[in-house]
Amino acid sequence: MAQEGQERLIDLLNHPSTTDDRLLATSARHLVKLSRKHRLHIPRKARHLVCRKCHVRYQFGKNARVRIKHGQRIITCLECSSIRRFGGGPKSHRSS
């Protein structure tokens, strides 16, 4: 039941052109609340869409900045200035 709700909210977040900005903001917050209440992990495909600190949906270019540095994707939330890093970094530090 909770996983179905999670999937619906993720679908809303994945298709922002069909929905209102306020609806996107509340759906991001509801996704985090639902996941915490039912002790569910937020799926990988949705982790990259929501800020961990302020629970706002990333709109790249508007409220989030994306940089790639040494093979690592760095997303900065412009609402709360939190930084998230995805990826392993330079290839020299990875195990072969």
By three-state DSSP, how is residue 3 classified?
Answer: helix
Task: Kindly indicate the confidence band of residue 82, based on its pLDDT and cuts at 50, 70 and 90.
Answer: very high
- Percent of the chain past pLDDT 90, that is, above it, reads 30
pLDDT, the chain, mean: 85
Task: Kindly indicate the confidence band of residue 37, based on its pLDDT and cuts at 50, 70 and 90.
Answer: very high
Cut 0.85: pTM above it: no
Residues 90, 41: Cα–Cα separation, whole Å: 28
| Residue 15 neighbours by CB under 8 Å, 6+ apart | none
pLDDT tens by residue, 67-77? 999 888 999 99
